[in-house]
Amino acid sequence: MALKDILPSKLGFGAAPLGNMFRAIPEEEALATVETAWNDGIRYYDNAPFYGAGLAEIRMGEALKGKPRDEYVISTKVGRIILDEVEDVSLRDNGEKGDVFAHGRPNKVVNDYSYDATLKSIEDSLKRLHTDHVEIVFVHDLAQDFWGDEWIARFEEARNGAFKALDRLRDEGVIKAWGLGVNKVEPIEILLDLQGPRPDAFLLAGRYTLLDHGRALQRVMPKVTELGLGVVVGGPYSSGALVGGPNFEYAPATPEILSRVAAIKAIADRHGVSMKAAGIQFSLANPAVAAVIPGASRPERIAEDSAAFAEIIPAAFWAEIRKAGLVDPAAPLPA
């Protein structure tokens, strides 16, 4: 089934902030954020065990457990098992993601892309999410930003384990789709060229945004479109850098990135365009993109995202962005 036929809309909810991403979020604020998203009509929710060592799934499960299950779609991820025993959070090696979830639960996180661990991970996620099924499963962080030089070996582990398990679950109708949930383009390139596993979708975070889209545009999007698959774009605001935040890719933004943001914002201000609208609508303009999932940890952010999704952006803004060389010449732009 095509991803666009599974997802209820093009604007979804990224749950990473619910796992206490960057800060300790009060329980009531986290639950109110999900409730606000629901009341705003959002019906696609993406999650992962990695987000706060299960905290994001627990919170989302609590917030959604009274909602009609046939009215919304959940995607979650595999590759990590969350144990009951605790560990020193400061000693975790999360690659380039560092201590982004330092405020999450202290439960021990075990990285495992094997067949059996994949089934176990889904079983555990269902319990935390208070549901009996999820529609989409992504194999999480199977890339160099998390694993460094080991990433190819981990990819092979998943190819012989997680991929086969998810292929089976999809073919049996237990899930509707599976693929990779990554922050890098290369793993998707490799999987698309493999014989055997048949992914349906990809969650690509940070690599098809207004600030960074060249490699994905050349190496992934055309083939995804050709094969009738789909991409969910995560991190459309580039960890907040696009909308005035200090971080890009989970780390302080470089002067080059800040200069690029300033150039885009100057054009946006001249045309009365919000940066959130520019970010969301740029990502969605590519025909390979089925949905975009900005993350939110405060209820008021939901209204901003919905307004950005609906905002009318004048064609002159995109023409000036193109003329200024701030987007790849081949990038599709909103009509």
Per the CB < 8 A criterion, the answer to whether 64 and 89 are in contact is: no
The answer to whether residues 143 and 151 touch, using CB atoms and an 8 Å cutoff, is yes
Which listed residue (46, 112, 124, 141) is catalytic? 46
Provide the residue type at 50 as one letter. Answer: F
Round to the nearest angstrom and report the end-to-end CA distance of the chain.
Answer: 27
Q: What tokens appear for 251 in the block?
A: 């780390």
Q: Based on the residue annotation, tell me whether 77 is a catalytic residue of this protein.
A: yes
Beta-bridge partners for 181:
140, 203
Q: Which of 51, 72, 115, 250 is catalytic?
A: 51
The C-alpha atoms of residue 287 and residue 154 are separated, in whole angstroms, by 30
Helix then strand then coil, in percent of the chain rounded to 5, is 45, 15, 35
195 contacts: CB under 8 Å, gap ≥ 6: none
Q: Please say if 113 is a catalytic residue.
A: no
Q: Are 15 and 50 in contact (CB under 8 A)?
A: no
Contact 42, 83 (CB under 8 A): no
Q: Has 51 been annotated as catalytic?
A: yes
| CA-based max dimension of the chain | 56
- Catalytic positions, written as ranges: 46, 51, 77
